[in-house]
Amino acid sequence: MRLAFNRRLELLPREGVEAIKENTLKILEGAGFAYRHKGALKILEEHGAIVDYSREVAKLPRGLVLDCLKKAPKQYIVEPPQGDAVCF
């Protein structure tokens, strides 16, 4: 397995990353997103999302999103059918 990046890669300045993060949180919390699967909407609701079943829309509170991000792996491996796996 090879590492895709062996140094921290910065494509945007910290302020740009923070602006994207903040605006994403606002959209997920305010407008939410459409999800056309009742079972998935139920799971989202059980974990703290605000779900409108008639519109099939889930709104994710900021705290829920941030808690999930804390639990996400810091890196991941992509294994193509042929070739070496790559760690991001």
Structurally, the chain folds into a number of domains equal to 1
Give dist(CA 45, CA 11) in Å, integer.
Answer: 35
Give dist(CA 3, CA 13) in Å, integer.
Answer: 23
Please report whether residue 32 resides in a domain: yes
- 12 contacts: CB under 8 Å, gap ≥ 6: 20
Please report whether residue 27 resides in a domain: yes
Please report whether residue 78 resides in a domain: yes
Please report whether residue 26 resides in a domain: yes
Residue 79, both tokens: 């294994």
DSSP state string for 17-32: HHHHHHHHHHHHHHT-
Please report whether residue 4 resides in a domain: no
pLDDT digits (tens, 9 = 90+) for 18-76: 999 999 999 999 999 999 999 999 999 999 999 999 999 999 999 999 999 999 988 87
Q: Which residue has the higher pLDDT, 10 or 21?
A: 21
E strand or H helix at 45, and its extent?
A: helix 38-46
Q: Is residue 2 pLDDT above 60, yes or no?
A: no
Domain that residue 80 falls in: 12-87
Q: Is residue 6 pLDDT above 90, yes or no?
A: no
